[in-house]
Amino acid sequence: MKKKTAYVNYLFLAIGVLVILIPLYLTIVSSFKDTPQITGNFFGIPNPFTTENFSRLLDDGVGGYFINSAVISILSILLITLIVPMAAFSIARNISKKKAFVLMYSFLILGIFVPFQVIMIPITTMVTKLGLSNIPGLIILYLAYAVPQTLFLYVGYIKTGIPVELDEAAQMDGCSKFRMYFKIAFPLMKPMHATALIINALWIWNDFLLPLLILNKDDSMWTLPLFQYNYQGQYFSDYGPSFASYVIGIITISIVYLIFQKNIISGMTSGSVK
């Protein structure tokens, strides 16, 4: 019985790996083919091998859109990592003492249950009226929309992973709350920082809908996914450059994930075992 279960598990694992690897393989090899090769031999190895697709992307200004995506992602994540842990620490330390913190926490995490499609039109209208249909406006929206899930993760981590006794020991040594937070609590949240970073980085870097709503009017502010969308529409019969643009996006976020993967696993499992 155990052997049969193991075989079934391995079968599902193999299917899952193939479902991921086959599209990834096709994307990478197609980025080094010209369009006749892609349409004539989609699954084959590039012959001849060409980097013309990447050269065309550079000529068409992909570097600028890559920088836009990088700036938006980095600034959004920095703000999330600076602001959300502070709120989470305050809530985690006071939620059992004061009802106001319970109400505040409940109100903030309600956003987890609100689909983006429900607030899409109100957000677009509000941003337009405030004159925030630009990169700073998009960064503010990412910060606001990241709060519910990220706050939920941080509060759980702080409650189980950072003992209250550390606060008391720091106060006895004459440490202020702000100093205690930045010198002791904030560094101890490193695994959760990495977890929040990669979760939000994956979402922000690959997000298409918010940039489409906020930035699509001005092509100088396009992000990489928005450029890919408009580029594919412009050259719908020329697949090579499109695949090359997908590879650029995949490689970047994959490097970020590989750097932080150990801390991500630690952050997700911390507190699960006493």
Q: Give 110's pLDDT tier (boundaries 50, 70, 90).
A: confident
- In this prediction, residue 272 carries a pLDDT of 40
pLDDT attached to residue 274: 38
- Percent of the chain beyond pLDDT 70? 91
Q: CA of 145: how far to CAs of 68, 149, 195, 208, in Å?
A: 19, 9, 17, 15
> What 3-state DSSP class applies to 87?
helix
Sequence-distant (6+) residues with CB within 8 A of 156 are 271
Say which amino acid occupies 183: K
- From the list 56, 50, 59, the residue with the least C-alpha distance to 29 is 50
Q: Where are the domains of the chain?
A: 55-269
Taking the CB of residue 44, how many other CB atoms lie within 10 A of it? 11
Average model confidence (pLDDT) across the chain: 83
Q: How confident is the model at residue 118 (pLDDT cuts 50, 70, 90)?
A: confident
| Structural fold of domain 55-269 | MetI-like fold (1.10.3720)
Q: Report the candidate in 266, 85, 263 with the shortest Cα–Cα distance to residue 158.
A: 85
pLDDT tens digit sequence for 36-88 = 888 787 788 888 888 888 888 888 888 899 999 999 999 999 999 999 999 99
Tens digits of residue pLDDT in 196-226: 888 899 899 989 989 998 888 888 889 999 8
